[in-house]
Structure 1
Amino acid sequence: MLETIKEIFAASPVMAWSVVSVMFAMLVMAALWDKVAWWWLNTWMSFPLVGRISRLSKDLNRDSADNTWFKAEKALSRDYKKFIRIQNEHDFNEKIDYITKAGDNGRTSTPTWIFLLTALLVFVEAMGFSYVLAGWTIPGASESTQQYGALGIAFLISVILFAFTHFAGHELYKSNKIKHARREWAEDGRKHKFTTGTVPLARKQSIDDGQPNYTQLANRVGTHESYMITIATVVIVLIVAAGATYVRGQVLEKTLHQTVVGGQNQAEIGLSLNDDGLDMTVKGTDNPIMPDADLAQNQATKDKAMMDEINIDRHGGWGTFIILAFIFMFLQILGGLFGYRWGFAGSDSKAAFKSIGNGRYSTYADVRERYNEVADAAQAKLEALQQKLMERNADIGTEGMHTKNTFWKFMEMTRQEEARDRENQDKHTDRKSNKPDGVSIPASQEAITSPLTVDQALQQLDSLQDKDDKRSYIKSLPPSMQTEVKNALMLAKAEAEKASATQTQLDDELDKLL
């Protein structure tokens, strides 16, 4: 594999380094995606000719839901709305309260570069002995196949070790939190309950304000320590370290044995030549053949030198393998420390951390500052779009059109729509929650448990598409509400017929005049 990479760089260095640069750029973009996306939106929005504003300015159609807005205006505003998390100060403080009570205040998720660094270190270490393992796991395979096999083995080993060490570190952190909470509980004389029940992020965090800190933590982190993953990780690391060192040692012994056998074969060849009576002297010189005793002594000297060299190689090789084993163990401990240093103990702390901007905002003032930054940029782009829309309407339009819409107005409209939607969902939930367990309440009685106004009933009726569904909904209302809804429908129908008749009469009169 390494030879193939070297050949690629030697044959086409420009292309090879271009691929490396692209991969490095992709890693940087993944790590800084929020900033890259924000930069790209503003850049592409004002790009000449083919940019977002240039294309949206060609659409002079009004919005079907609210004709005071152009479709282009709403489309641009939605693009910028993606960078704003709509939440009020209460919701933000609820997330902060959960993280604080879970003991995770000040912690963050594991940085992307830490993940990459840990994975790279483990992979490099795994590559060190994967070549040795490949020779035993794929016996008889070609050198190229063994290299690919070594790469695959290194990947498998690195993934397993990386996952186990990371989760072991996180398990130790979480168990340590529970251990300290239990110690505080014991020092407090066990006057209070250690836990009053699980408090998820969806519930009000003030529910256990009157409880001690250790109870609040146990409600969000848990009540029992666990070291199963840590024990399994230690066992796996020891097995891999011992096994890799053993296999490396066997390969070293095999290499040294081949060296000894090769030296002995050469010596036997030399002796056999002399035993055959071959005269190795050069005629005309005074170099006689050495006696057998001298030859034996000379061979013994060579054998001793070779054995000394083999012993040196053996001790040096085993020393190197032991050092590599310590390096391997240190890397696994480092992976566990990374898992202990970053991450959260609370069951929903990660979700809460993500909801407040992944650590970008420490206070609600930071949220407002970010909101104003996005809103100012969006308003500037919206004004540029509106100017282009007016210019295009002056060139090809047929009606006088003006717009004074702002991004803040769009956000206010969005909040109102979401508030109405949440209100409808809450009313539906309240109606469903009034049903006793295992008892089916008729629709008419269900409607009584949550009184509706005529306007709300008509709004719900308009949301239904099928006539049978509308009929069933009206029948599910109380008798008094049914009467009011029918009267309202009759009145609306009469007004519609009157308006239609007036419009028809006006059309007839215009036809006669024109």
Structure 2
Amino acid sequence: MQDFSPSAMLALMLANRAAAASLITLFVAIVIVALNWDKVCYFVRRAWHATPLVGTVARLARQVRRDHGQVDANGWRSGEISLCEEYYTRYESVDKDPSYFAKCEDYLSKVCEKGRRTNPVWVVPLMGALLVLEAVGFAYVIGPFVNREISANNLQYLTWSVSAFLALISGFFAHIAGHQFHHNSLIKKARHWWRGTPNNERDSQIGKDIAQISIDASRSDDNATGYNKILARIKTNETVTTRHNWIAIFAGTIVIVAIAAFWVRTEQLNALETELVAGYQINESAPAASSPFDLPAASAQVEKQSQDKSFGDKLGAEHTASLVTFAVLSVVYVAIQFIALWLSMVYGFAGLASKDAYEMTSKFKTAAEMVRWMERQRLAIRGHADHKLRMLQHKVSGYDMASNSGEQSSSTAHTRDFDAFLKMRVAQADAKRQADKHDEDQKALEAHRAALEFQRKKASIEAEYQAPAVAAQPRVETPAPAAAPSVAAPVAQNLAGPKPGEFDDLRELSDEDLDLVTDEYGLTLEQLKRIRNTQVVLAKTGKFPGKGAIA
């Protein structure tokens, strides 16, 4: 069995100083990069832009050459715009007004994560120490069962690699399960608030038609319910229910590993005890040389039984103590996993933009301090963008442009910097906003006109049948004697025409049918046709048949 004690580990590190120093340096570098990931990515991007031959500036210069220096309506080459776009995203992230600080606090408050924080500095070393402790425990368990045909050094390397891998897997599952616990707590809180809202005030289905809200739009749902404020800032499934898949994987992992470690240690103990018993029996069965001082047979038998009992008691005590030790080691492993789970539950965020909001509110005490920092960042980004833009313009200045616009663009390159690009973006955004507003106004105007036209037609039809139908009177000549009045038309029997909505349903009658019932209703054929057509129109709007209509 190989020695996996801390002293042996230290001796191994001293014997392989270069490898140990490389591993320690790599670990420290990974921690530093992880803590400053955003800055590292920005630095790598800037370095890639200036890389000769294959960098962004070199690639865009070749693109400008293929385009023969063609420019757009604003005098910009496509490569120049693409290069400025590389920096505009980062510039936009720090181009905020003082109200952004209050919006970050509002975002954290609405998602119920105000007061939480990211992992402190001491969490990473603590988790590293716990993982190393787990690796040592795993090394003692799996070391004897690794391939025994390899050399001792390779066996140690392989054992520590496998044990560290298993420890990292356990730590990863604990981290993800802790975050899922916190995420589930927010969903439970939202559902509890939803159930506590009166039925006439709450949504019929929780989470229905909820759009995700960013920090800039955090004030847009001030009048929304508390549960909708939470759901608009976290990621949920279609039924807005808790999920326990990672929690189940974490629980299964620690149970399997803890039981497996205990079982392996127990089997090792049984194998060791078997060897001890076999060796003891061999020693006892070996014939001893005769001596005049030997005990009598009866006394020798008693002494042998006493030795066997002592050996059995010692072996049983060691067995019990070993089992208790193995159980304690398994409990320690489970406790380490629960510590990692607790740290993941206490620290971290579930909101989609909560981490960004926390970093902004924790980094600065006031909005004025945030604005001053952002101004310095914008100034640095403008300098970086102008430097790469000048590199690109210098590379393409010597190209033989095939168009007058390209030559003119080269002569006016000094006027195209990142500030000019920002002004162009603002002008384009304003033009787009005005165009969208004009389109919305046109659609609203057309809808209003259509509504007015519909109301006019409807009022015209109703007024036609509400006005009294006056019978035509014969014209009487003054000098001549009064003539007898002619026979009044059937419509004169009703001083006011009937309303189509209150008249009998005539929609299914043909013209011949209407001609047959003119005498029944005392109306002309034209009046009945008009009533029938009006009823067809009213039926399409849902206003016929009405309460007064007779089916």
Structure 1 length-normalised TM:
0.57
Deviation at 1:260, TM superposition (A): 2.4
| Structure whose alpha-carbon radius of gyration is higher | 2
Equivalences for residues 299-338 of structure 1 within 5 A: 299-300=304-305, 302-338=307-343
Deviation at 1:421, TM superposition (A): 7.6
Residue of 231, 234, 244 corresponding to 2:261: 244
Equivalences for residues 418-497 of structure 1 within 5 A: none
Residue of 226, 229, 247 corresponding to 1:213: 226
Deviation at 1:330, TM superposition (A): 1.2
In the alignment, structure 1 residue 30 sits paired with structure 2 residue 25: no
Match of 1:234 in 2: 251
Residue of 87, 91, 104 corresponding to 1:84: 91
Counterpart AA for 2:335: F
Deviation at 1:13, TM superposition (A): 2.0
C-alpha contact 2:171 2:340 (8 A) present in aligned 1 = yes
In the alignment, structure 1 residue 121 sits paired with structure 2 residue 126: no
Equivalences for residues 41-52 of structure 1 within 5 A: none
Gaps of 5+ in 1: 46-51, 56-60, 280-286, 389-398, 435-514
Residue of 274, 296, 303 corresponding to 1:257: 274
Residue of 82, 88, 112 corresponding to 1:103: 112
Deviation at 1:338, TM superposition (A): 2.2
Give the Cα separation in 2 of the matches to 1:369 and 1:301: 87
Equivalences for residues 140-219 of structure 1 within 5 A: 141-142=147-148, 144=150, 150-151=159-160, 154=163, 157-185=166-194, 192-193=201-202, 195=206, 197-201=208-212, 208-218=221-231
Counterpart AA for 1:142: R
Counterpart AA for 1:330: A
Q: In the TM superposition, what whole-angstrom CA distance separates every residue of 1:127-152 from its partner, at most 9, and x where no partner exists? A: 5246535656x6xx416487676556
Counterpart AA for 1:85: E
Deviation at 1:217, TM superposition (A): 2.5
Give the Cα separation in 2 of the matches to 1:96 and 1:247: 52
Deviation at 1:425, TM superposition (A): 10
Name the SS for the 1:335 alignment partner: helix
Match of 2:400 in 1: none
In the alignment, structure 1 residue 368 sits paired with structure 2 residue 371: yes
C-alpha contact 2:105 2:361 (8 A) present in aligned 1 = no
Name the SS for the 1:224 alignment partner: coil
C-alpha contact 1:132 1:247 (8 A) present in aligned 2 = yes
C-alpha contact 1:98 1:201 (8 A) present in aligned 2 = no
Give the Cα separation in 2 of the matches to 1:2 and 1:359: 51
Residue of 324, 340, 346 corresponding to 1:341: 346
Deviation at 1:103, TM superposition (A): 1.9
Name the SS for the 1:178 alignment partner: helix
Give the Cα separation in 2 of the matches to 1:98 and 1:85: 19
C-alpha contact 1:171 1:227 (8 A) present in aligned 2 = yes
Deviation at 1:252, TM superposition (A): 1.6
Q: Structure 2 vs 1, CA of residues 326 and 200 (structure 1 numbering), >3 Å: closer, same or farther?
A: same
Deviation at 1:115, TM superposition (A): 6.3
Deviation at 1:373, TM superposition (A): 1.1
Give the Cα separation in 1 of the matches to 2:31 and 2:45: 20
Deviation at 1:268, TM superposition (A): 1.8
Q: Structure 2 vs 1, CA of residues 303 and 146 (structure 1 numbering), >3 Å: closer, same or farther?
A: farther
Counterpart AA for 1:200: A
Higher helix share: 1
Q: Structure 2 vs 1, CA of residues 33 and 387 (structure 1 numbering), >3 Å: closer, same or farther?
A: closer
C-alpha contact 2:113 2:354 (8 A) present in aligned 1 = no
Give the Cα separation in 1 of the matches to 2:41 and 2:245: 41
Match of 1:456 in 2: none
Counterpart AA for 1:250: E
Name the SS for the 2:91 alignment partner: coil
Match of 1:350 in 2: 352
C-alpha contact 2:139 2:163 (8 A) present in aligned 1 = yes
Give the Cα separation in 1 of the matches to 2:45 and 2:368: 25
Give the Cα separation in 2 of the matches to 1:148 and 1:358: 44
Counterpart AA for 2:210: V
Q: Structure 2 vs 1, CA of residues 5 and 73 (structure 1 numbering), >3 Å: closer, same or farther?
A: farther
Give the Cα separation in 2 of the matches to 1:164 and 1:19: 24
Give the Cα separation in 1 of the matches to 2:389 and 2:178: 55
Deviation at 1:325, TM superposition (A): 2.0
Give the Cα separation in 2 of the matches to 1:357 and 1:249: 50
Give the Cα separation in 1 of the matches to 2:302 and 2:91: 89
Match of 2:516 in 1: none
Counterpart AA for 1:84: Y
Q: In the TM superposition, what whole-angstrom CA distance separates every residue of 1:75-95 from its partner, at most 9, and x where no partner exists? A: 998786565334555888777
Give the Cα separation in 1 of the matches to 2:159 and 2:179: 30
Q: % of aligned pairs identical?
A: 20
C-alpha contact 1:108 1:358 (8 A) present in aligned 2 = no
Deviation at 1:382, TM superposition (A): 8.8
Q: Structure 2 vs 1, CA of residues 65 and 117 (structure 1 numbering), >3 Å: closer, same or farther?
A: farther
Give the Cα separation in 2 of the matches to 1:210 and 1:82: 31
Counterpart AA for 1:248: R
Structure 2 length-normalised TM:
0.54
Q: Structure 2 vs 1, CA of residues 158 and 262 (structure 1 numbering), >3 Å: closer, same or farther?
A: same
Deviation at 1:175, TM superposition (A): 2.8
Residue of 21, 32, 36 corresponding to 1:17: 21
Deviation at 1:220, TM superposition (A): 4.7
